[in-house]
Amino acid sequence: MGEEKVKGDPSAPPAPEYSVGDFNSTTKLADSQIISDAEYNPFEHRQIEKPNSTAGSLIHLLKSSLGTGILAMPVAFKNAGLLFGAIGTVIIGLICTHCVHILVSYVRERFTAGPLCRTASPLFASASLYLTGARPEMRSDERLVFWCQIPVLGFAETAERVFQYGPAKLRPLAGFSKAFVDYALMATYFSAGCVYIVFIATSFHDVINHETGNDWSVRIYILFTMIPVLLIGQIRELKYLVPFSALANLFIVVTFGITLYYIFKDSLEFDDKPMFSSFGTLPLFFSTVIFAMEGIGVVMPVENSMAKPQHFLGCPGVLNTAMGTVIVLYAVIGFFGYVRFGDEAKGSVTLNLPLEDSLAVAAQILIALAILFTFGLQFYVPMDILWRKIHDKIPKNKHMISQIALRTGIMIIMGGVGLAVPELEPFIGLVGAVFFSSLGLFVPCVVETVFLWPNELGKFRWVLIKNVIFGAFSIFALVAGAYVSIKDIISLYTDDEDGHTDGGLTDEEYEPFRHRRVKKPNSTNGTIIHMLKGSLGTGILAMPSAFRNGGLVFGVIGTTLVGIIYAHCVYLLVSTSQKSCKRTRVPVLGFSETAQSVFRHGPTPTQRFANAAKAYIDYSLLIVSFFSVCVYLLFISTTLRDVINGELGIDWDTRIYILLTAVPLVFVTQVRDLRYLVPFSALANTLILVTFGITLYYIFREPIDLTNLQLFPEITALPSFFGTVVYAVEGIGVVLPVENKMKHPQHFLACPGVVSIVLSFITVLYNMTGFFGYARYGPDTRASVTLNLPSEEKLALSTQLLAALAILFTLGIYYYVPMDILWRKVKHYFPAERHNIAQIGIRFGILVAMTALALGVPELEPFIGLVGSICSATLGLLTPIVLDTVFRWADPDAFGVFRWRLLKNAILFAFGLFILVVGTYFSLKDIVEIYG
């Protein structure tokens, strides 16, 4: 605002003429005459000679936060993942907006309009004594009542006055807080100006040299760029910068539109993009979003220069409108830009556009022009601060020439820095990360906390808790941004001529994922569907029965515990398999091959068991999977018999329905690629969820009474509880086959990834069904909760039919696992040209055998329960623990401090043995009851 004047107001007390630059620590507040809080309206006392309109203020605020950072959002999403990126962007935007609200609202309501602080003690109620310099002696726990009626305050002055009139122990920090904000703003914006100059010059260098065939150095373009920069940098009024900001916004919007055109020109592929990337890349995400979105330094100057400052806050107001627009645009370009370009997303998404297209080249020119026209606004903030600090040392008749000379000199220095150090960005990134996170987030939280301390922090001191959380987040962003910037600096200046850092690896480390050649890879979403189907079956309908044995409280605890343990065992299996692939330099390993490799390359005593481990897992999977097909076939046939015979009044035998069920299975079991089984698994999941929904309808149709229900189990009921939950959740046989078929296998163990998403979802569903099912039916809860539903109602009867159809569509993936194992064992017996017909014959022959077994032994379930209990416990729990332990045994340090991983594995192994014994006992008990 340079030399903007605040005219004296007739109703105000006599006071010297103010300029915006005069509001610093030496400003005289007022004479002894004081106007009451109700009478003083700071907006009426703001009489800016050249005020800015509401629309102009909106344009400025948009320009301060909406810059080239929007084009870096796809790479930010690459470092966060689709889901976390979208949520994180919105949260960061809301936090930044809230912090601006804190800053502006406290300046208005507390500093410029009324009492800075109050105290219950009347002893120091004489504000006139304080304002005239006669400061009475104060105790540390008391504050002076005084009035600070000033039309406008800047960012630094706000921070100063908070400390100056805050708790006594903090008042010595008033000068430091003001200086910190001032110098931090100057360092940030002057440094950013250097980067802008280099960015503009480099953009024109790339485009013009490419189009004309010239080979001019980027330094020549920096010199050319300095010509318009020197002119724009001489503008000292925000009002005259509005057209430049408007043009810059227009160019950015056009560039945004061109970028969106290229993003949406072809169909988008969502399946191969992770919902969450990794914790290691989160600092890059937060640094990018905060530095791109934050424009705290422009807020107070823009608000102070408004003709109608009451339009700045409010809903909707300038701030909410601007930040809402910024958040939406950042989220959209980040989300869809990453979907389009994936891991190839670059620092500016325009760099991903095809250079051979004129439209793409135009986007680079427009964004360079946008930055050029933004320079004036960015340069305004630090120059306003600097001029306020030195203008009183210069005669008034020299102010004009001094401003011209000072601005020109600083811009020449900035251009000189750009000429001397063209790789300046990492250093500026360090300054920006440190000061933007502290200025935009940390300082407003501190300002609010100090001002409200100690008695106005809200109920339960929620304001303090909120500010501590936000402050911790800002510190994390500061440290993370600084770390990433320093890391970039080190890598930039320690690269050797070959492009390797001194500490880099000289040999290429084998990466199994790069060597996988899957003909028809499965998408991440398809893998989630398969994994859901592998664990989510009719077992969910048995969970109320499990809770009947476990009790309401222990049921939730136990089910969650089993889900966590099983998820951890899946993680151990897959991570051990991937590490074994890397060690043996093979792209994929199945379940049994992983066990063989681990034992073969493990300690000497285990090596002799390598082949035995492979054979055990193979045959266990074969037995469990094929016999499960028999059980499912019987389940479907029996269900169809009960429903159809009851509805039609016929008396067909179960064997007829077994034969009818086998007809569609002839086609389902011939599907050999997981990719083509996705629709079946998806449909099966849908049917299970519909059955689940209908069941919940009946559960919640009437009020639930939790009285007289047991919360904890009897000791004798624990085996039944754990046996039901483990057998229902476990689906280990599907894990490695679907992981080996993934297009992006790195998404399987990510956080969140396929494993965490699927098993979290499964655990929640199982807990809900078990808890509320038992709460509804209590001791009368049956083995399948659908049997508790009123059989006279068609909707209830349909649940049995839907569950049967879900199992029918599930059989394809259950058939895939044993057939994949069997085919790998026998395919070398057939000529290559006979593989297709051989697979058809084997698949059909095994289905016929399973159908014959179901026809001949209708009471097969107890035997399958015995085999399933034994193999589920060993395959799903014990085997992954053993493999992880054997793999790590050669390196004792791999078990961690105090060998905590070994202790953890021992505890989990004991739990698995308990499940094994329990399952075997109850299966044998059922067999004795049926055949004894």
Q: In this structure, what CATH number is given to the domain that contains residue 465?
A: 1.20.1740
- Over residues 794-815, the mean pLDDT reads 80
CB atoms within 10 A of CB 8: 15
What is the DSSP code (8-state) at residue 789?
Answer: S
Whether 153 shows a pLDDT value over 70: the answer reads no
Identify the H or E element spanning 339. Answer: helix 318-341
Looking at per-residue pLDDT, the higher value among 484 and 137 belongs to 484
Query: What is the distance between the alpha carbons of residues 104 and 303, in angstroms, rounded to a whole number?
Result: 8
Number of compact structural domains in the chain: 2
**Residue 438 shares a structural domain with residue 536:** no
Q: Which residues contact 718 (CB under 8 A, 6 or more apart)?
A: 549, 550, 918
**Residue 103 shares a structural domain with residue 212:** yes
Nearest to 729 by CA among 911, 874, 564: 564
Residue-level length of the chain: 932
Query: What is the distance between the alpha carbons of residues 268 and 276, in angstroms, rounded to a whole number?
Result: 18
Domain boundary among 439, 470, 489: 489
Domain boundary among 465, 489, 513: 489
pLDDT of amino acid 788: 75
* Strand 5-6, strand 18-19: pairing: antiparallel
**Residue 531 shares a structural domain with residue 465:** no
Whether 143 shows a pLDDT value over 60: the answer reads no
Query: What is the distance between the alpha carbons of residues 909 and 882, in angstroms, rounded to a whole number?
Result: 8
Looking at per-residue pLDDT, the higher value among 408 and 32 belongs to 408
Nearest to 305 by CA among 361, 354, 248, 236: 236
Which string of DSSP letters, residue by residue, matches 692-734?
Answer: HHHHHHHHHSS----TT--SS--GGGHHHHHHHHHHHH--GGG
Q: Which residue has the tokens 């002055």?
A: 157
Nearest to 437 by CA among 281, 297, 294, 300: 294
Q: Which residues pair with 403 in a beta bridge?
A: none
Please indicate, yes or no, if residue 416 is contained in any of the structural domains. yes
What domain range is 371 assigned to? Answer: 54-116+149-489
Q: Which residues of 260-291 are buried (b: 16+ CB within 10 A; e: fewer)?
A: bebbeeeeeeebbbbbbbeeeebbbbbbbbbb
Rg, C-alpha atoms of the chain: 36
Whether 134 shows a pLDDT value over 50: the answer reads no
Query: What is the distance between the alpha carbons of residues 332 and 263, in angstroms, rounded to a whole number?
Result: 11
Q: What is the CATH number of the domain that holds 706?
A: 1.10.4160
Token digits for 852?
């014959």
Q: Which residues of 377-399 are buried (b: 16+ CB within 10 A; e: fewer)?
A: bbbbbbbbbbbbeebeeeeeeee
**Residue 483 shares a structural domain with residue 542:** no
What is the DSSP code (8-state) at residue 353?
Answer: S
Read off the pLDDT of residues 610-668 as tens digits, 9 standing for 90 and up: 989 888 888 887 877 777 777 778 778 877 887 788 778 888 888 888 888 888 888 88
CB atoms within 10 A of CB 167: 15
Please indicate, yes or no, if residue 782 is contained in any of the structural domains. yes
Task: Write out the E strands in 700-856.
Answer: none
**Residue 481 shares a structural domain with residue 531:** no
Which string of DSSP letters, residue by residue, matches 11-54?
Answer: TSPP---EEGGG-STT-----S----TTT--HHHH--BSSPBPH
Please indicate, yes or no, if residue 409 is contained in any of the structural domains. yes
Looking at per-residue pLDDT, the higher value among 61 and 81 belongs to 81
pLDDT of amino acid 122: 32
- Over residues 696-717, the mean pLDDT reads 79
Read off the pLDDT of residues 782-802 as tens digits, 9 standing for 90 and up: 766 766 777 677 887 788 788
pLDDT of amino acid 692: 75
Identify the H or E element spanning 360. Answer: helix 358-390
The phi, psi pair for 698, rounded to 5°, reads -70, -30
Domain boundary among 489, 514, 547: 489
Q: Helix axis angle, 835-856 relative to 794-826, nearest 10°?
A: 130
Q: Helix axis angle, 425-437 relative to 174-212, nearest 10°?
A: 140
**820 neighbors 842 (Cβ within 8 angstroms):** no
What is the DSSP code (8-state) at residue 5?
Answer: E
pLDDT of amino acid 120: 33
- Over residues 207-217, the mean pLDDT reads 79
Share of the chain above pLDDT 70, in %: 74
pTM beyond cutoff 0.75: no
**Residue 352 shares a structural domain with residue 214:** yes
**Residue 448 shares a structural domain with residue 532:** no
pLDDT of amino acid 866: 64
Please indicate, yes or no, if residue 495 is contained in any of the structural domains. no
3-class DSSP assignment, residue 501: strand
- Over residues 379-384, the mean pLDDT reads 83
Please indicate, yes or no, if residue 587 is contained in any of the structural domains. yes
pLDDT of amino acid 881: 92
Mean pLDDT of the chain: 74
Looking at per-residue pLDDT, the higher value among 395 and 681 belongs to 395
pLDDT of amino acid 530: 74
**Residue 268 shares a structural domain with residue 337:** yes
**Residue 718 shares a structural domain with residue 766:** yes
- Over residues 835-850, the mean pLDDT reads 89
In which band, very low, low, confident or very high, does the pLDDT at 882 lie, cut at 50, 70 and 90?
very high
Please indicate, yes or no, if residue 862 is contained in any of the structural domains. yes
Q: Which residues of 624-656 are buried (b: 16+ CB within 10 A; e: fewer)?
A: bbbbbbbbbbbbbbbbbbbeeeeeeeeeeebee
3-class DSSP assignment, residue 356: coil
Whether 489 shows a pLDDT value over 70: the answer reads no
pLDDT of amino acid 695: 80
Q: Helix axis angle, 718-729 relative to 754-777, nearest 10°?
A: 140
- Over residues 50-63, the mean pLDDT reads 67
Q: Which residues contact 702 (CB under 8 A, 6 or more apart)?
A: none
**293 neighbors 326 (Cβ within 8 angstroms):** yes
**Residue 543 shares a structural domain with residue 481:** no
User: Peptide bond before 454: cis, by omega within 30 degrees of 0?
Assistant: yes
pLDDT of amino acid 906: 92
Angle at 881 between CA 879 and CA 885, to 5 degrees: 115
Query: What is the distance between the alpha carbons of residues 879 and 866, in angstroms, rounded to a whole number?
Result: 18
Read off the pLDDT of residues 451-479 as tens digits, 9 standing for 90 and up: 888 777 777 778 888 888 887 877 777 77
pLDDT of amino acid 768: 83
Please indicate, yes or no, if residue 283 is contained in any of the structural domains. yes
Query: What is the distance between the alpha carbons of residues 437 and 481, in angstroms, rounded to a whole number?
Result: 9
Long-range Cβ contact pairs of 202-208 (< 8 A, separation 24 or more): 202/422, 203/364, 203/365, 203/367, 203/368, 204/365, 204/368, 206/364, 207/361, 207/364, 207/365, 207/368
pLDDT of amino acid 8: 38
Counting DSSP H helices and E strands in the chain, the numbers are: 34, 2
In which band, very low, low, confident or very high, does the pLDDT at 734 lie, cut at 50, 70 and 90?
confident
**Residue 485 shares a structural domain with residue 531:** no
Read off the pLDDT of residues 411-449 as tens digits, 9 standing for 90 and up: 998 888 778 766 655 555 566 567 667 776 788 888 888
Task: Write out the E strands in 88-244.
Answer: none
The four Cα atoms 467, 469, 474, 480 give a dihedral, to 10 degrees, of 170
Whether 749 shows a pLDDT value over 50: the answer reads yes
Please indicate, yes or no, if residue 471 is contained in any of the structural domains. yes
Q: Which residues contact 293 (CB under 8 A, 6 or more apart)?
A: 65, 69, 92, 93, 96, 326, 327, 330
- Over residues 689-697, the mean pLDDT reads 80
pLDDT of amino acid 865: 58
**Residue 473 shares a structural domain with residue 562:** no
CB atoms within 10 A of CB 120: 6
In which band, very low, low, confident or very high, does the pLDDT at 907 lie, cut at 50, 70 and 90?
very high
Long-range Cβ contact pairs of 798-802 (< 8 A, separation 24 or more): 798/694, 799/691, 799/694, 799/695, 800/639, 800/642, 800/643, 801/639, 801/640, 801/643, 802/687, 802/688, 802/690, 802/691, 802/694
Query: What is the distance between the alpha carbons of residues 776 and 547, in angstroms, rounded to a whole number?
Result: 11
Token digits for 655?
């064997």
Query: What is the distance between the alpha carbons of residues 18 and 6, in angstroms, rounded to a whole number?
Result: 5
- Over residues 691-695, the mean pLDDT reads 80
- Over residues 544-562, the mean pLDDT reads 87
Read off the pLDDT of residues 280-328 as tens digits, 9 standing for 90 and up: 667 777 777 776 666 555 565 666 666 666 666 666 767 777 777 778 8
**38 neighbors 275 (Cβ within 8 angstroms):** no
